[in-house]
Amino acid sequence: MGSQLPVEFPSSLRVFGEHRSIRYFLRQPLAVGHLHLIVEAGRRAPTDAQGHMYAFLRITDADLRDRLATLCADQQHIRDAAEFYVVCLDVYRLRQLVELRGGEWGMRERISLIYGATDATMVAQNMVVAAEALGYGTCYIGAVQNNTDVIAEELALPEGVLPLYGLCIGVIDPAMMPDLKPRVPRTLCFFENGYPTGFSTDELQSAYDVMSPKRDWYTALGSYFADGGTMQKREPIMARAWRRQGLDPQPE
């Protein structure tokens, strides 16, 4: 499990080896029938306890998509892609189903957040793989979290529905195809029978060596995860969104 041998994917698995995030799309629709296949691939994803705790909002209104793109760090590929979805966790529908049969809703906020995010992400990733197998490009939009609370209001989402991220699917601009990006060494992510007691300086440096083919990987890590970075700035935004959508875990 720990080897770093080069991988040559067989043709049946090549879609995994060729994945890259696409941020330049031609303004062309998907071929007839392809969106149906992509959505159906998503719907066949696993779901915990048959709960289907997700909702995907397809944004076809040009003005709305423009507003969302602006809220998501003004990313042009949101406007250009053939399809753009706001991916949400959704326990609102599930609660309605339980209460329809006279059940009292018992799922609390922490479990709702974990299982809803998991269900939604498995659906989204199935859609990504299906789209890429059909020759399209995809890009997740984490910048939805820059304005989660505002986007929830913009989309009139009820309590129990929370935007997680966006998903672009579209026709790739071949003139702007990005290179494949490296991945963190397997030895730092995949373990057997337990977690290691720690990572040595050499092991951590090996990750920087692998992940810095063009620029120092810390440039990205620092801007997102260090003090004052993007993730820290998103924390109060997400807290507001949790409260607005009725998903803020109650204090002990």
Q: For residues 230 and 241, give the distance between their C-alpha atoms in angstroms, rounded to a whole number.
A: 17
CA distances from 193 to 5, 39, 196 (A): 22, 37, 9
pLDDT cut 70: percent of the chain above it: 97
Q: Please, which residues bridge with residue 137 across strands?
A: 170
pLDDT at 238: 96
Residue 118 φ then ψ, to 5°: -65, -50
Task: Kindly report the pTM of this predicted structure.
Answer: 0.95
Judged by DSSP in three states, 192 sits in coil
CATH superfamily of 11-180: NADH Oxidase (3.40.109.10)
Residue 10 has pLDDT above 70, yes or no: yes
Residue 6 has pLDDT above 70, yes or no: no
Mean pLDDT throughout 125-147? 98
pLDDT at 7: 80
Query: Beta strands of 8-115 (E only): which ranges?
Result: 25-26, 54-58, 83-90
> Side-chain half-sphere of 19: how many Cα atoms within 13 Å?
17
Torsion angle (degrees, nearest 10) of CA 52, 158, 142, 203? -60
Q: What is the pLDDT of residues 30-43, one digit of tens each?
A: 999 999 999 999 99
pLDDT at 154: 97
pLDDT at 35: 98
Q: What is the pLDDT of residues 215-234, one digit of tens each?
A: 999 999 999 999 999 999 99
| Range with the poorest average pLDDT among 4-18, 67-81, 144-158, 231-245 | 4-18
Domain boundaries, the chain: 11-180
pLDDT at 228: 98
pLDDT cut 90: percent of the chain above it: 96
